[in-house]
Chain A
Amino acid sequence: MLGRLGEVITLLGLAAAVAGGVTGYAAGRTGSHALLRATQRLSMTFTAAMLTIFVVMEVALVRHDFSVSYVAKVGSTKSPLYVTIVSLWSSLEGSIILWGAVLGIFVAVFTYWSRDRHPETTPWALGTMLWICAFFAFLIAGPANPFSPTPLPIPDEGPGPNPLLQNHVLMIIHPPMLYLGYVGMTVPFGMAIGALLAGQLGPAWTQALRKALLIPWGFLTVGIILGGWWAYAVLGWGGYWAWDPVENASFLPWLTATAALHAAMLPSRRDTMKGWTVVLVLITFLLTLLGTFMTRSGVFNSVHSFTQSDIGPIFLIFLAFCLVGCVLLLAARIDRLAGEGDAPHPISRETGFLLNNLLLVALSFTVLVGTTYPLIIEAVNDTRLSVGEPYFNRVAMPIGITLLFLMGVGPALPWGEASNRKIMQALGPPGAASVAVAALGWAGGIRTPWPLVLVATAGFATYVTVREMVTPVLVRMRENKESPLVALSHAFERGRRRYGGYVVHLGIIVLIVAIGISHAYRRDQEFSINTGEAATFGDYTFRLVGVESLNEAHRQREVVTVDVTGPGGPFTLKPALNNYSGAMNAIGSPDVRSLPTLDVYVSVLSIGTDRVGLHVYLNPAVGWLWIGMGIVIVGTVLAAWPARRSGAVGAPIVEAPS
């Protein structure tokens, strides 16, 4: 019953999306206002349909309606309610419903925002988005239909979702965040295609494009870091990032979106980067499609992938169509966008942006090549090989540090041309600061070259970022005789987006340093100890208190109690092994104590009759990753928060790209 309802509403959504795609393009061609209105209504219909099937599937899950095939696949009456609710995105077919619902929300927001703006470009953009919606509605309706009836006889119990996914609360929020990032890229893509089809890209459209890019970028950032956090807290190998194909798949669009965000700051000032910005936006969306393909096709094998799905070929056809379509459209229209403008001065902020883009694109290209290289080799001469962490670290580290350096140099340099004296003035103090930070690092025990270079560069970038935030306040205080608070609020009001951007920069600096330090100085040790025995590693002593077995409805836990003494202690950690019904091997769940400088991380390797095998990691600076994520969120919200609408639509809005 619910299954049938879901299928009908999906078809309704599909019909609305297809019709909207047609009317949208027709409205773009004819300029007909009536057609645009119809497109907007159809877009809202699609959204309503997607939200409805989301609710229908949730109801089916909660009511354990095993006549719906997806419920029979992932449901279990033994699962707690929250597991049942989130199991909607624990497997391929259900996750596409979440995808559809998120897509619906984004498209609805765009439809609402664009309702009376840019009548030449909007229909093309909306039409494009609806064609993408049509594809996803088609997937739900056909190849990945989660509502199809379960073959008879209908079971009265199901296996429950993948145990790995039941193991941690982060699994509830990490996939939706990532989807918000992935799916959200549909909007800037639609807007970029719209600009190409309409043959124009004005400053207001560019600015809107930037915001449309910034919001999913923020979600993507959070989704990626939460994914790392999840891996760290659940998988028990003491790390958060393994350069696994699926992780790379989420990193690729993040890199190009970051590049696009920076590139999009230039056209508002000079027209030279218009075409390039559009190219980056298109690539970002195509990479999200590629990432989805990687996760779902079964071509790549990974911890995160949904195995054995047959939507791979259909997805590849769609991907190929989008890729070729974008190339053709770019070739046909890019010259119309290319603006006139002078080349930037070699030492200027513009050049900083240029290099930033170059490095981000080089890094994403490298990650793409590294990720697909095993496939290439297999296709060419049937050899299997792996490209993993050592390769990616080797390539990513120098590029990452250079980007960090640019994060300092770029904002320090003035726009346009500057005298050498000015450049020296801009770069001198941060240079001194970086030397000071390196000396501090040396004193603090950082003695290896790369981490020293890293903290020195981070010191440079931090100095510049903070200076850029403080200087306007100081100038206001001096020139306008304002009190510090008033000056701050005025400066902030005038350049909120600029401030948001700098806060994001600070967050990224924290992230890069935390990644570098935790990678360079992590240590681990395996013990096998008896109850009552203790083992020492680093400054810490680990005493095994005991093992207890707990029976929960959907799993059996063996919880190991370990008393830890050492700096920041004493404290107790309770890592465990979880046995899920229906799973062959026990799944470990590590326990972590986050101290300001260091994480003490213990996972259980084995529980024998008398001895317990433990793997202990001392991971410095990992806790700062989550702090960095928090800073990035704050910055993104500052930058993306809707401004009060001022002046006429389309009027140039005073902004300070930064």
Chain B
Amino acid sequence: MIALLLGLAVAQEPVVPEPAASADAVGLDPTPIIGEPIDAELIGEALEVATRETAQKLRCPTCQGSSVAESPAEGARAMKAEVRKMRARGYSDRQVLDFFEAAYGEFILLEPRNEGANRALWYAPVALVGLGMAAAAATVLGRRKPAAAPTPRTPGDPYLDRVDRELDR
């Protein structure tokens, strides 16, 4: 897997934005908060894809609404650079999200964790569609009179008769 990613990176040779390389020397160590990196180290195109994957799930704190991946705000770009640095070192998507959540709170995640009360967010639409389907099924099947003749239509509607004739062909 690593070899594949590296191979991909070499083949593509993208222009990597200048990393805050000097920061690594004096920067912060996220390990106490989220543990050792569990993924492969990334560079090149694979790193960009990974950065985008994670940054898309983070909210830009100063812009309200748009994600860190997209926002041109300076703060968001600093956060994105941090995401890139962490993914490069091999921290997983989840680890980086956890790191940001520890600093900013759950607010920073654009998609809330699917646990606790938040489950309602996912179950509510499913439940509504289910209920609606049940109601529709009840209307369509239940109230049907047995052996009902083909539903009568308002007579004397030549156009509709025509449309049906057209469909019959």
Contact = CB atoms under 8 A, between A and B. Distances in A.
- Tell me whether A and B are bound partners: yes
Interface string B153-167: 110011110111111
Given A237-B71, A303-B64, A495-B159, A414 B167 contact: yes
A301 B64 CA distance: 6
Interface string B54-97: 00110100011111011110100100000000000000000000
B72 A344 contact: no
A527 B17 contact: yes
A380 B160 CA distance: 54
A533 to B, nearest CB: 9
Given A415-B153, A475-B166, A386 B112 contact: yes
B72 A362 contact: no
B48 interface: yes
Contacts of A373: 112, 121
Interface string B30-64: 00000000000000000010001000110100011
Interface residues of A, number: 76
B105 interface: yes
A608 B43 CA distance: 26
Of B67, B153, B158, most buried by chain A (CB within 10 Å of CB) is: B67
Interface in B108-155: 108-112, 117-118, 120-122, 124-125, 128-129, 132-133, 136, 139-145, 148, 150-154
Contacts of A524: 52, 69
Contacts of B117: 377, 380
Given A344-B151, A525-B48, A391 B110 contact: yes
Contacts of B118: 385
B107 A358 contact: no
Nearest to A474: B166
Interface string A362-406: 110110011001000100100111111111001100010000000
| Chain A interface helix/strand/loop/mixed | mixed
B133 A537 contact: no
A535 B109 contact: no
Contacts of A366: 124-125, 128
B114 to A, nearest CB: 10
Contact of A385 (B66, B109, B150, B164): B109
A162 interface: no
B157 to A, nearest CB: 7
A18 B26 CA distance: 69
A654 B66 contact: no
Given A387-B121, A389-B56, A416-B153, A535 B15 contact: yes
Interface residues of B, number: 65
A536 B112 CA distance: 36
A528 B106 contact: no
Interface stretch (A194-202, A239-247, A288-296, A438-446): A239-247
Given A342-B151, A354-B140, A366-B124, A528 B67 contact: no
A391 B112 contact: yes
Given A236-B72, A656-B159, A244 B164 contact: no
Interface in A313-350: 342-346
Nearest to B163: A656
Nearest to B128: A362
- Give me the 3 closest cross-chain CB pairs, A-B, nearest first: A388-B110, A237-B70, A390-B111
Interface of A: 235-239, 242-245, 269-270, 301-303, 342-346, 351, 354-355, 358-359, 361-363, 365-366, 369-370, 373, 377, 380, 383-391, 394-395, 399, 414-417, 422, 426, 471-472, 475, 494-495, 524-529, 535-537, 585, 588, 603, 605-606, 613, 615, 654-656
